Structure 1
Amino acid sequence: MWRFLQDRRRLNGLLWQLLVVGIVIAGVGWLWSNALHNLSVRRISTGFAFLGREAGMPIADSWIAYSPKDAYARAFLAGIVNTLRVAVIGIVLATVLGTLIGIARLSSNWLLSRLAGVYVEVLRDVPLLLQLLFWYVLMQGLPAARTAWKPVDGVFLSNRGLVLPSVPIEGANLWVIGAATLGLIASYFLRRRLIAQQMADGRTRPLWPYALLLVVGLPALLSWTLAASWTVTFPELRGFNFVGGLTLAPEYFALLIALVTYTSAFIAEIVRSGIQAVHVGQWDAAKALGLRRSFMLRHIVLPQALRVIIPPMTSQYLNLTKNSSLAVAVGYQDIVSIANTTLNQTGQAIEAIALIMLVFLTISLGISLFMNWYNARIALVER
Structure 2
Amino acid sequence: MTKPKESPLAPPARRRLSWNDPGTRSIIYQILALLAVGGAVWFLVHNTLSNLSARNISTGFDFLSKEAGFAIGETPIAYSPASTYGRAITVGLLNTLRVALIGIVLATLLGTLIGIARLSSNWLIRKISSIYVEVMRNVPLLLQLFFWYAIISETLPGPRQALHPLPGVFVSNRGVQMPTVHGDGLLWLLVGFLVAVILSIIMAKWARKNQEKTGQIFPTGRWSMLLLLVLPVVMWFFSGTSMTLDVPELKGFNFAGGMTLSPEFAALLIGLVIYTAAFIAEVVRSGIQSVNRGQWEAAEALGLKRGQVLRLIVLPQALRVIIPPMTSQYLNITKNSSLAVAIGYPDIVSVINTTLNQTGQAIEGIMMIMAAYLTVSLSISVFMNWYNKRIALVER
Map 1:37-116 → 2, pairs under 5 A = 37-116=50-129
Following TM superposition, by how much is the alpha carbon of 1:162 offset from its aligned partner in structure 2, in angstroms? 1.6
Distance 1:264 1:143, change over 3 A: same
What is the CA–CA distance in structure 2 between the aligned matches of 1:369 and 1:85, rounded to whole Å? Answer: 19
- Percentage of pairs with the same residue: 56
1:133 maps to 2:146: yes
Which residue pairs with 1:153 in the alignment?
167
Distance 1:209 1:364, change over 3 A: closer
What is the CA–CA distance in structure 2 between the aligned matches of 1:44 and 1:374, rounded to whole Å? Answer: 47
User: Structure 1, residues 73-98: CA drift from partner, whole Å, max 9, x if none?
Assistant: 00010000000111000000000001
What is the CA–CA distance in structure 1 between the aligned matches of 2:395 and 2:189, rounded to whole Å? Answer: 42
Which residue pairs with 1:235 in the alignment?
248
SS at match of 1:163: strand
SS at match of 1:331: coil
User: Structure 1, residues 169-207: CA drift from partner, whole Å, max 9, x if none?
Assistant: x55413431342143134313532453366467788887
TM-score, normalised to structure 1's length? Answer: 0.92
SS at match of 1:58: coil
What is the CA–CA distance in structure 2 between the aligned matches of 1:282 and 1:182, rounded to whole Å? Answer: 37
1:308 maps to 2:321: yes
Following TM superposition, by how much is the alpha carbon of 1:217 offset from its aligned partner in structure 2, in angstroms? 7.1
SS at match of 2:75: coil
What is the CA–CA distance in structure 2 between the aligned matches of 1:46 and 1:105, rounded to whole Å? Answer: 54
Following TM superposition, by how much is the alpha carbon of 1:23 offset from its aligned partner in structure 2, in angstroms? 1.8
SS at match of 2:255: strand
Which residue pairs with 1:294 in the alignment?
307
Amino acid of the structure 2 residue aligned with 1:58? A
What is the CA–CA distance in structure 1 between the aligned matches of 2:115 and 2:292, rounded to whole Å? Answer: 17
What is the CA–CA distance in structure 2 between the aligned matches of 1:218 and 1:158, rounded to whole Å? Answer: 35
SS at match of 2:250: strand
| Match 2:388 to one of 370, 375, 379 | 375
Amino acid of the structure 1 residue aligned with 2:161? T
Which residue pairs with 1:165 in the alignment?
179
What is the CA–CA distance in structure 2 between the aligned matches of 1:316 and 1:208, rounded to whole Å? Answer: 27
Map 1:292-371 → 2, pairs under 5 A = 292-371=305-384
RMSD: 2.6
Please say if residues 118 and 130 of structure 2, whose CA atoms lie closer than 8 Å, have aligned partners that are also in contact. yes
SS at match of 2:265: helix
Aligned residues, how many?
Answer: 381
Following TM superposition, by how much is the alpha carbon of 1:237 offset from its aligned partner in structure 2, in angstroms? 1.6
Following TM superposition, by how much is the alpha carbon of 1:287 offset from its aligned partner in structure 2, in angstroms? 1.1
Map 1:177-196 → 2, pairs under 5 A = 177-193=190-206, 195-196=208-209
Amino acid of the structure 2 residue aligned with 1:158? S
What is the CA–CA distance in structure 1 between the aligned matches of 2:195 and 2:91, rounded to whole Å? Answer: 27
Amino acid of the structure 2 residue aligned with 1:45? S
Map 1:263-282 → 2, pairs under 5 A = 263-282=276-295
1:174 maps to 2:190: no
What is the CA–CA distance in structure 1 between the aligned matches of 2:82 and 2:323, rounded to whole Å? Answer: 44
* Gaps in structure 2 of 5+ consecutive residues: 1-5, 7-11
Please say if residues 184 and 242 of structure 2, whose CA atoms lie closer than 8 Å, have aligned partners that are also in contact. no
What is the CA–CA distance in structure 2 between the aligned matches of 1:339 and 1:272, rounded to whole Å? Answer: 39
Distance 1:216 1:147, change over 3 A: closer
* Gaps in structure 1 of 5+ consecutive residues: none
User: Structure 1, residues 342-364: CA drift from partner, whole Å, max 9, x if none?
Assistant: 11000001100000001000100
User: Which range is displaced more, 84-93 or 194-203?
Assistant: 194-203
Distance 1:205 1:324, change over 3 A: closer
Amino acid of the structure 2 residue aligned with 1:273? S
SS at match of 2:163: coil
What is the CA–CA distance in structure 1 between the aligned matches of 2:184 and 2:41, rounded to whole Å? Answer: 47
